[in-house]
C-alpha cells in the first residue's frame, strides 16, 4: 500500500485534540483525546504513520482503518455509520470525500455516496470547553439515481476510544428514580441502548461513559457520549476483537429511526441530532466540567439569578380553589419565593388526570374570574408567574379530541392503550401546531406568564399518522422536530419567556430540548435520600442552575419516607431551588426555617450557579460529599450527607475537592438550614469549632490531608463553607 501525503486537520481546545487525516477516498480519525500539542508537519506525519495497525490472520490483507464514516467498505464489521437502501439496492454505502473545510473550531467534511445518490456533510465542532459535537446532514440531490427514494435506516456518529477504556457507566431508572447508574466491564461486542419511548425516558442513558478501570469522580481517563435529541435514539459502546483500526473500540450515537421513517427523494435532506463527545483525564468531574462550561457559554443560558420557585403540585394537586391558591401565593411571597408556578388543574374540565388535556383555556367553573386574580396577586408580590402545560398531549375526554380526532397520533386500525389516560397529538400536523402555538401564546400574553412548566407524561407508542394516500407513516422524528419548532417559535415571539422541561419528572433531560428550555424538572421525587443520587447524576451533564430541586413536605409524597427539615433544605439548595409544599399548613417555626433557607439560597446562588461542581470519591456508598467551588477556588460550599448507615464508625479524613492546595482558607459550618444529628457522642473538634466561627485551614490540609468528617445519622446533611483568606495568584 502506498501512503499519500495528505492534509491533516488538527482541532484543539481546552486540553483536547481531535485529528483527522483528510485522505481519500475517506478521511480517517487519527486521534481523539488528550491534547497532543502544536504538532509540526513531521509530528502529524508521525501520528499518521503510527495510525496503521498490524495486519491480522484471516483478516483484511491491509491494516484496517478507522475512518470518519466507518462502513464495510473499510472492512469495518462494527456498527456502521450508515445503513439504508433504495428499493433493496444501494445497501453497501461507499463514500468518497468531495471536500473539507477546516477552521480552528470546526472541521466540515463533504462526502458523496454515488451508489445511493447521497451527499453527506459531516460536521465536527470542537467547543472551547473541549466537547466535540458531531452532526451529519444527508441530502438527495435532484437527479439522484432511482429506483425510488433512499430509505435511511440509521446514521451513527462514531468516534474511537482506546483499549484501556474497559469499564462502562451509563444510566437507567424509572419514575421517581431517574439516572440510576449502572456500571461494569465493557465486554467485547456492543453495549447498545435503543430508546423507543419517543422521549429520552426515565431510564435514559444520559451520558454513556467508558474509562480506565476504576475511574472515579476525580481521577481516571474517561470518554463520554450524549445524544442531544428528545425523540428515539441509539447509543452504543462497542469493542471488537480486531479493534477499530489502531484504536480499541468506539462510542456511537444517533437517532433511532423506524423503518420507512426517513425516505430521501430528490431534493430531500435529513439532519441527524447533534452527538456530544467528551474526554477527560480527570474523571467524571472533568467530564461534567466540560459540559457545564459548554452549556454556560451559550448565549441563551439563563443568566439572571435563578428565582426561588414555589410549584403548587404537591401543595394542592387538583384542588384549585382560587382562595386557597391566593393564600399560598401570599405565604410564598412571605418566605421569599420569587416565582410561583401554577401546576396541573387549571384548564377546561381538568378535575383529575382523566380529562381536559388539549383544551388550553382556563376552566370557568374553577376560575370564574380567570387566572387574572392569581396572576395579579403573584405579580403584585414581585414574583414571576408560571403555568403548567402539556401541549403535546390530549385526553379523549376533551373538546379537542372530539373536534379533531385526526390530530391524534395512532394507526388507522385504531388507538392503542392509553397511558395516564392520554394520547399524543401530532404536533407536526400544521393545524394542530397552529392551535398549540396560538393557545400558548395567547395564555402568555393574557396573564403575563413568565414561565411555562412544559410537561410530557406519556411515551409515544404507535406514533404514526396518515399520509396523503391514507397510509400509516412513522411520526416520532417529525414530532420531535415539530416540538422544537413550536418551542422556538413561541420563544421568538416571547423572548423573555422561560420554559422548564418536565416529563413525568426527569423523562426529557437532553441537550436537544435544553437548547430551547431553561431548566429541567429532575424528578417527581422530592425525598432527599433519592434526590441526593438523582441530582448527583443529573449534574453529570447539567450545571446546578438548570436542575430544578424542591423542598417537599416532611413526609415524601412519592416514597412515604420522613426526612428532617435540614436534610430536605440542604439537598434542595444544590440546584435551581424551590418549594413544593403547602406553606399554609406549616407552623410559624417551619416557615421561619424556610425563610432563613430562602435567604441562604439567595446568598449562595451566585457561587452555586457559576462555580465548578466537585464530588468526592468516598469509600462508602452511603455518604455523599459534593460541592461547588468558585472558578478562582476562592470560595466553596460543600454538602456532606449520609443516606443510610454503614459499617465504619469513623468517617476518617476526607479531602475537600477542588480547592487550591497553595492557598489559605478558613472554613465554617453554615447553620441556617439547621444542623444534622450525629451517630457519635461528640463530633470532631474542627467541626465543633467551625459551628461557632470560622476556622483557619491551609489549602493543603483541606485538599491533601482532609478533614475528619462527623459520622452523621442516616438522612442527615451539613453544609461546609470554605473561603480563601489570601488573594488568588
Ligand atoms: C407530572 C409532573 C409533575 C406534575 C404532574 C401534574 O407527573 O412530573 O411534576 O406536574 O405531572 O399532572
pLDDT tens-digit readout, 451-470: 999 999 999 999 999 888 88
Length of the chain: 729
Q: DSSP 3-state assignment of 700?
A: helix
Give which of 250, 310, 273 is closest to 598, Cα–Cα: 310
The predicted pLDDT at position 2 comes to 36
Indicate if ligand 1 lies below 6 Å from the C-beta of 346: no
The predicted pLDDT at position 587 comes to 96
Task: Cite the beta strand spans of 608-682 per DSSP E.
Answer: 612-615, 623-629, 635-642, 653-654, 664-670
The predicted pLDDT at position 437 comes to 98
Q: What is the mean pLDDT of residues 508-532?
A: 98
Cα 718 to the center of its chain, rounded Å:
27
C-alpha angle 367/371/373, rounded to 5°?
100
What distance in Å separates the CA atoms of residue 325 and residue 312, rounded to the nearest whole number? 8
Taking a C-beta distance cutoff of 8 angstroms, is the pair 576, 309 a contact? yes
Indicate if ligand 1 lies below 6 Å from the C-beta of 503: no
**Count of other CB atoms within 10 angstroms of residue 2:** 3
Cell match 435503543: residue? 194
Q: DSSP 3-state assignment of 600?
A: helix
pLDDT at 729 over 70: no
pLDDT at 1 over 60: no
Identify whether 518 is a catalytic site residue.
no
Cα 476 to the center of its chain, rounded Å:
20
Taking a C-beta distance cutoff of 8 angstroms, is the pair 666, 694 a contact? yes
Identify whether 455 is a catalytic site residue.
yes
Q: Model pTM greater than 0.75?
A: yes
Indicate if ligand 1 lies below 6 Å from the C-beta of 505: yes
Instruction: Output the CA–CA distances (angstroms, integers) from residue 154 to 8, 234, 726, in the order listed.
Output: 28, 9, 56
Taking a C-beta distance cutoff of 8 angstroms, is the pair 272, 157 a contact? yes
What are the phi and psi torsion angles at 102 (to 5°)?
Answer: -125, 135
Taking a C-beta distance cutoff of 8 angstroms, is the pair 271, 477 a contact? no
Give the closest residue (by CA) to ligand 1 atom 6.
344
What distance in Å separates the CA atoms of residue 591 and residue 597, rounded to the nearest whole number? 10
What distance in Å separates the CA atoms of residue 643 and residue 676, rounded to the nearest whole number? 12
What distance in Å separates the CA atoms of residue 99 and residue 25, rounded to the nearest whole number? 11
pLDDT at 145 over 90: no
Indicate if ligand 1 lies below 6 Å from the C-beta of 178: no
Grid coordinates belonging to 425: 397529538
Grid coordinates belonging to 625: 460529599
Indicate if ligand 1 lies below 6 Å from the C-beta of 344: yes
Q: Is the peptide bond before 73 cis (omega within 30 degrees of 0)?
A: no
Give the closest residue (by CA) to ligand 1 atom 1.
504
The predicted pLDDT at position 190 comes to 86
C-alpha angle 274/280/283, rounded to 5°?
115
pLDDT bracket for residue 5 (50, 70, 90): low
Domains observed in the chain: 8-52+64-296 (2.70.98.60), 613-724 (2.60.40.1180)
Indicate if ligand 1 lies below 6 Å from the C-beta of 390: no
What distance in Å separates the CA atoms of residue 9 and residue 68, rounded to the nearest whole number? 12
- The β-bridge partners of 192 are 236
**Count of other CB atoms within 10 angstroms of residue 284:** 26
- What average pLDDT is seen over the chain? 97
Q: DSSP 3-state assignment of 210?
A: strand
Grid coordinates belonging to 427: 404536533
For the chain, how long is the longest CA-to-CA vector? 82
Q: CA-based Rg of the chain, rounded to a whole angstrom? A: 27
Give which of 628, 597, 614, 636 is closest to 310, Cα–Cα: 597
Q: Which helix (H) or strand (E) holds 386?
A: strand 384-389
Q: Which helix (H) or strand (E) holds 602?
A: helix 588-608
What are the phi and psi torsion angles at 363 (to 5°)?
Answer: -75, 115
Give which of 511, 586, 521 is closest to 550, Cα–Cα: 521
What distance in Å separates the CA atoms of residue 168 and residue 481, rounded to the nearest whole number? 31
Q: DSSP 3-state assignment of 571?
A: helix
Q: What is the mean pLDDT of residues 105-111?
A: 98
The predicted pLDDT at position 163 comes to 97
Candidates 422, 455, 459, 526: which one to mutate for ligand 1, based on the most atoms within 8 Å of Cβ?
455
Q: DSSP class of residue 511?
A: T
What distance in Å separates the CA atoms of residue 405 and residue 621, rounded to the nearest whole number? 51
Q: DSSP 3-state assignment of 72?
A: helix
Q: What is the pLDDT of residues 176-222, one digit of tens each?
A: 999 999 999 999 988 999 999 999 999 999 999 999 999 999 999 99
Grid coordinates belonging to 260: 420507512
Q: Residue 344 C-alpha to ligand 1 middle, in angstroms?
A: 7
Grid coordinates belonging to 728: 488568588
Q: Residue 61 C-alpha to ligand 1 middle, in angstroms?
A: 59
Q: Which helix (H) or strand (E) holds 379?
A: helix 372-380
What distance in Å separates the CA atoms of residue 463 and residue 29, rounded to the nearest whole number? 38
pLDDT at 4 over 60: no
The predicted pLDDT at position 469 comes to 87
Indicate if ligand 1 lies below 6 Å from the C-beta of 314: no
Q: Which helix (H) or strand (E) holds 377?
A: helix 372-380
Indicate if ligand 1 lies below 6 Å from the C-beta of 457: yes
Taking a C-beta distance cutoff of 8 angstroms, is the pair 285, 543 a contact? no
Q: DSSP 3-state assignment of 477?
A: helix
C-alpha angle 96/101/105, rounded to 5°?
130
Q: What is the pLDDT of residues 607-620, one digit of tens each?
A: 999 999 999 999 88
Of 331, 343, 359, 455, the active-site residue reads 455
Instruction: Give counts: helices (H), strands (E), the chain.
Output: 13, 40
Taking a C-beta distance cutoff of 8 angstroms, is the pair 557, 568 a contact? no
The predicted pLDDT at position 678 comes to 97
Q: DSSP class of residue 712?
A: B
Q: Residue 546 C-alpha to ligand 1 middle, in angstroms?
A: 18
**Count of other CB atoms within 10 angstroms of residue 461:** 17
Candidates 173, 343, 501: which one to mutate for ligand 1, based on the most atoms within 8 Å of Cβ?
343
Grid coordinates belonging to 657: 475537592
pLDDT at 651 over 60: yes
Q: Residue 523 C-alpha to ligand 1 middle, in angstroms?
A: 9
Instruction: Output the CA–CA distances (angstroms, integers) from residue 466 to 221, 416, 431, 469, 480, in the order listed.
Output: 49, 16, 14, 8, 17
Indicate if ligand 1 lies below 6 Å from the C-beta of 520: no
Which positions ≥6 away from 471 have C-beta within 8 Å?
none
Give which of 323, 285, 379 is closest to 613, Cα–Cα: 285
Q: What is the pLDDT of residues 243-295, one digit of tens each?
A: 999 999 999 999 999 999 999 999 999 999 999 999 999 999 999 999 999 99
What are the phi and psi torsion angles at 219 (to 5°)?
Answer: -135, 160
pLDDT at 129 over 90: yes
Q: Residue 506 C-alpha to ligand 1 middle, in angstroms?
A: 10
Taking a C-beta distance cutoff of 8 angstroms, is the pair 291, 153 a contact? no
pLDDT bracket for residue 144 (50, 70, 90): confident
- The β-bridge partners of 629 are 612, 636
Q: Is the peptide bond before 147 cis (omega within 30 degrees of 0)?
A: yes
- The β-bridge partners of 95 are 113
Residue 622 burial (C-beta neighbours within 10 Å; 0-12, 13-18, 19+): middle
For the chain, report the end-to-end CA distance as a whole number of angstroms: 55
Amino acid at each position: 500500500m502506498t501512503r499519500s501525503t495528505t492534509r491533516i486537520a488538527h482541532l484543539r481546545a481546552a486540553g483536547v485534540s481531535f485529528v483527522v487525516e483528510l485522505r481519500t477516498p475517506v478521511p480517517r480519525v487519527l486521534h481523539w483525546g488528550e491534547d497532543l500539542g502544536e504538532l509540526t508537519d513531521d509530528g502529524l506525519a508521525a501520528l499518521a504513520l503510527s495510525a496503521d495497525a498490524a495486519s491480522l490472520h484471516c483478516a483484511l490483507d491491509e491494516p484496517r482503518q478507522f475512518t470518519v464514516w466507518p462502513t464495510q467498505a473499510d472492512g469495518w464489521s462494527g456498527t456502521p455509520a450508515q445503513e439504508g437502501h433504495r428499493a433493496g439496492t444501494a445497501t453497501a454505502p461507499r463514500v468518497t470525500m468531495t471536500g473539507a473545510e477546516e477552521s480552528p473550531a470546526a472541521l466540515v467534511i463533504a462526502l458523496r455516496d454515488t451508489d445511493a445518490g447521497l451527499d453527506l456533510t459531516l460536521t465536527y465542532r470542537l467547543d472551547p470547553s473541549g466537547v466535540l459535537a458531531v452532526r451529519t446532514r444527508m441530502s438527495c440531490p435532484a437527479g439522484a439515481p432511482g429506483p425510488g427514494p433512499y430509505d435511511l435506516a440509521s446514521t451513527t456518529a462514531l468516534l474511537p476510544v482506546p483499549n484501556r477504556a474497559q469499564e462502562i457507566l451509563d444510566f437507567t431508572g424509572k419514575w421517581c428514580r431517574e439516572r440510576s447508574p449502572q456500571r461494569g466491564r465493557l465486554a467485547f461486542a456492543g453495549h447498545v441502548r435503543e430508546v423507543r419511548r419517543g422521549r429520552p425516558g426515565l431510564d435514559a442513558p444520559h451520558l454513556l461513559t467508558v474509562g480506565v478501570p476504576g475511574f472515579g469522580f476525580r481521577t481516571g481517563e474517561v470518554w463520554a457520549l450524549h445524544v442531544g435529541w428528545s425523540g428515539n435514539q441509539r447509543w452504543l459502546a462497542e469493542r471488537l476483537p480486531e479493534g477499530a483500526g489502531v484504536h480499541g473500540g468506539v462510542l456511537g450515537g444517533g437517532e433511532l429511526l423506524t423503518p420507512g421513517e426517513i425516505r430521501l427523494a430528490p431534493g430531500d435532506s435529513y439532519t441527524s441530532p447533534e452527538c456530544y463527545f467528551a474526554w477527560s483525564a480527570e474523571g467524571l468531574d472533568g467530564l461534567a466540567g466540560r459540559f457545564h462550561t459548554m452549556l454556560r457559554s451559550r448565549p441563551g443560558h439563563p443568566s439572571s439569578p435563578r428565582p426561588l420557585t414555589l410549584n403548587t403540585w404537591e401543595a394542592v394537586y387538583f384542588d384549585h380553589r382560587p382562595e386557597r391558591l391566593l393564600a399560598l401565593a401570599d405565604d410564598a411571597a412571605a418566605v421569599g419565593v420569587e416565582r410561583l408556578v401554577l401546576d396541573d388543574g387549571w384548564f377546561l374540565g381538568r378535575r383529575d388526570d382523566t380529562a381536559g388535556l388539549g383544551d388550553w383555556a382556563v376552566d370557568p367553573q374553577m376560575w370564574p374570574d380567570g387566572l387574572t386574580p392569581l396572576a395579579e396577586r403573584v405579580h403584585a408580590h414581585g414574583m414571576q408567574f408560571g403555568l403548567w402545560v402539556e401541549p403535546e398531549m390530549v385526553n379523549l375526554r376533551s373538546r379537542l379530541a372530539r373536534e379533531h380526532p385526526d390530530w391524534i397520533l395512532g394507526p388507522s386500525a385504531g388507538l392503542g392503550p392509553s397511558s395516564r389516560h392520554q394520547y399524543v397529538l401530532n404536533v407536526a400536523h400544521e393545524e394542530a401546531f397552529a392551535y398549540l402555538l396560538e393557545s400558548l401564546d395567547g395564555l402568555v400574553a393574557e396573564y403575563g406568564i413568565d414561565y411555562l412548566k412544559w410537561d410530557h407524561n406519556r411515551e409515544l407508542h404507535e406514533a404514526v399518522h396518515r399520509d396523503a394516500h391514507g397510509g400509516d407513516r412513522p411520526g416520532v422524528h417529525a414530532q420531535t422536530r415539530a416540538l422544537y419548532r413550536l418551542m422556538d417559535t413561541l420563544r421568538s415571539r416571547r423572548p423573555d419567556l422561560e420554559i422548564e422541561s418536565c416529563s413525568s419528572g426527569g423523562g426529557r433531560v437532553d441537550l436537544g430540548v435544553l437548547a430551547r428550555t431553561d431548566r429541567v424538572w429532575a424528578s417527581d421525587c422530592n425525598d432527599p435520600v433519592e434526590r441526593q443520587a438523582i441530582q448527583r447524576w443529573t449534574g453529570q451533564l447539567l450545571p446546578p442552575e438548570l436542575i430544578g430541586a424542591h423542598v417537599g413536605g416532611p413526609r415524601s409524597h412519592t416514597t412515604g419516607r420522613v426526612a428532617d427539615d435540614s436534610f430536605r433544605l440542604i439537598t434542595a439548595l444544590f440546584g435551581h431551588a424551590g418549594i413544593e409544599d403547602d406553606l399554609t399548613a406549616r407552623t410559624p417555626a417551619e416557615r421561619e426555617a424556610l425563610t432563613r433557607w430562602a435567604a441562604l439560597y439567595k446568598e449562595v446562588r451566585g457561587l452555586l450557579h457559576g462555580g465548578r461542581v466537585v464530588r468526592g470519591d468516598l469509600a462508602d456508598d452511603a455518604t455523599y460529599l459534593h460541592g461547588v467551588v468558585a472558578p478562582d477556588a476562592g470560595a466553596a460550599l460543600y454538602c456532606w450527607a449520609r443516606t443510610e448507615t454503614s459499617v465504619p464508625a469513623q468517617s476518617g479524613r476526607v479531602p475537600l475537592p477542588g480547592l487550591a492546595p497553595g492557598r489559605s482558607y478558613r472554613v465554617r459550618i453554615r447553620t441556617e438550614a439547621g444542623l444534622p444529628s450525629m451517630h457519635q457522642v461528640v463530633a470532631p473538634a474542627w467541626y465543633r469549632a467551625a459551628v461557632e466561627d470560622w476556622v483557619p485551614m491551609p489549602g493543603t490540609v483541606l485538599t491533601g490531608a482532609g478533614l475528619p468528617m462527623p459520622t452523621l445519622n442516616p438522612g442527615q446533611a451539613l453544609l461546609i463553607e470554605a473561603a480563601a483568606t489570601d488573594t488568588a495568584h
